[in-house]
Amino acid sequence: MRIVYFGTPQFAVPTLRRLLASSHTVVGVVTQPDRPRGRGQKVSHAPVKALALEHGVPVYQPSRLREPVVAETLRVWQPDLGVVAAYGRLIPDDLLALPRLGMINVHGSLLPKYRGAAPVHRAVIDGETATGVTIMRVVTELDAGDILATVTHPIGSDDTSEAVEHALSELGAALLAEVVDRLAVGPVEGVPQDNRLATYAQKITRDDGLIDWALPAVAIHNRVRGLYPWPHAFTYLDSARLIILKTRVVEGVAPGSPAAPGTIVGDSRDAIHVAAGSGTCLAIEQLQPEGRKPMTAREFLSGRALPSGSRLSRP
C-alpha cells in the first residue's frame, strides 16, 4: 500500500522505521514545522523529519492543516492509508477522508482511558500499574475511533514516563505493522469504544511540576517520575527553585509524624529525607539546583549545610 505518515517526536520514530522497512511504500511524511529546541534554542529537525530525510521520503510541514493546499499536496501522493503517531494536531475531516482506507492512529494508552495529549505522563503520575498501546481508526472526535488492536505493558513502581514511552513506541510500531499488513489483505473489524469509560490526559505544562508536600510520599514520587524528563517536578529551598529528578518512598514511617509536610527530617549517605502528607516520608536521591547541573543528594550535601528542620515549599 501507499502510506502517508503523520508524526513528529521520538515516540513516532519506531513506527515510521517499521513502515520504511516493510513491503509498503511511505509516499510522504507530514510533520510539525521546525521549532527551536534544546538549551540553546536552535532550530533543528524533529526526530520524524530527520528519519524521513535520511530515507529520501518527501516531507511536508504545513503550519495549518485546513489550508486547501494541504489536501492538494496529499492528493498528489495518492495514499491508500494514513498512519498517525503523535503528530500533535487534530486532523480535519477532508484529510481523514482522503486515503481510500482512511487513517489509523498509534496511541499510547489502553483506550478509552487517557485520551488526549499526554497519556503516558498522566498514567505514571496517577500511579497506574499497567498501560499499553491502542491502534484505532482516526475520527473527528479526539481519540474516539474504533479499536483495531491493543497491547498491554506493565508500569514499574520506579519507571519514568521516558522509560514507559520508549517501551510503548516499540510495542506500538510492531502492532501497527501487523494491522497495516491485515488492512492490505482486506477489511479489519474495529471494536467501538465505550465512551462512558473515557478519561482525558490533559497536556503537560511546567506548572504541573510544582510539588505539593501535603500529598502522600507515593503521590509525589509518581509525579517526579511522571514528569521526567520534562518538565520535571520541582520545589523551592530558601526561595531558590530546586528540580527533583529521582526519589523513593521511605517505608515504615508511622502515620501521625509531627514534622510538617516539606520539612527536611534528616539525610542518609545517598538521600535527603523529607516529610510528606499523611505521615509519610520521601527520599530525594537526585536533584538539580537552579542554574546548576544535575547531581546526587550526596554531591548536593557536600556543597552546603542542610540542617534538619529546613523547609521545602512553594515560592
Condensed to tens digits (0 to 9), the pLDDT of residues 54-77 reads 999 999 999 999 999 999 999 999
Residue 113, C-beta contacts closer than 8 angstroms, at least 6 positions apart? 123, 197, 198, 199
- Identify the CA nearest to 77 among candidates 60, 89, 56: 60
Q: Is the confidence at residue 252, as pLDDT, over 90?
A: no
- % of the chain surpassing 90 pLDDT: 87
Whether residue 204 has pLDDT greater than 60: yes
Q: What does pLDDT average to over the chain?
A: 94
Pairwise pLDDT comparison (39 vs 73), residue with the higher score: 73
**What Cα–Cα distance (Å) separates residue 223 from each residue in 113, 164, 265, 270?**
19, 14, 21, 21
pLDDT number for residue 234: 98
Task: Select the more confidently predicted residue: 76 or 315.
Answer: 76
Lowest mean pLDDT among 56-70, 144-158, 160-174, 267-281: 267-281
Given a cut of 60, whether residue 261 has pLDDT beyond it is yes
pLDDT digits (tens, 9 = 90+) for 111-129: 999 999 999 999 999 999 9
Which CATH fold would you assign to the domain 206-313? Answer: Methionyl-tRNA Fmet Formyltransferase; Chain A, domain 2 (3.10.25)
Q: How confident is the model at residue 95 (pLDDT cuts 50, 70, 90)?
A: very high
Lookup: cell for 33: 514545522
Percent above pLDDT 70 for the chain: 96
pLDDT band at 41 (very low <50, low <70, confident <90, very high): low
Give the N- to C-terminal CA distance of the chain in Å, as an integer.
Answer: 56
Q: How far apart are CA 109 and CA 131, in angstroms?
A: 6
Rounded distance, CA 47 to CA 168, Å?
Answer: 17
pLDDT bin (cut points 50, 70, 90) of residue 148 is very high
pLDDT at residue number 314? 78
Q: Is 282 within 8 Å of 247 (Cβ atoms)?
A: yes
CATH 3.40.50.170 in the chain, residue ranges: 2-201
Q: Is the pLDDT of residue 40 over 70?
A: no
Q: pLDDT digits over 175-191, tens only?
A: 999 999 999 999 999 99
For cell 520514530, what's the residue? 13
Specify whether domain 2-201 bears CATH 3.40.50.170. Answer: yes
pLDDT at 37: 61
Q: What pLDDT shows up at residue 39?
A: 60
Backbone φ, ψ for residue 189 (5° rounding): -75, 130
The 10 Å CB-count burial string (b at 16+, else e) for 27-66 is bbbbbbeeeeeeeeeeeebbbbbebbeeeebebbebeebe
Q: Which residue spans of the chain are classified as CATH 3.10.25.10?
A: 206-313
> 249 versus 309: which is more confidently predicted?
249
Quick check: 284 and 296 in contact, CB under 8 A?
no
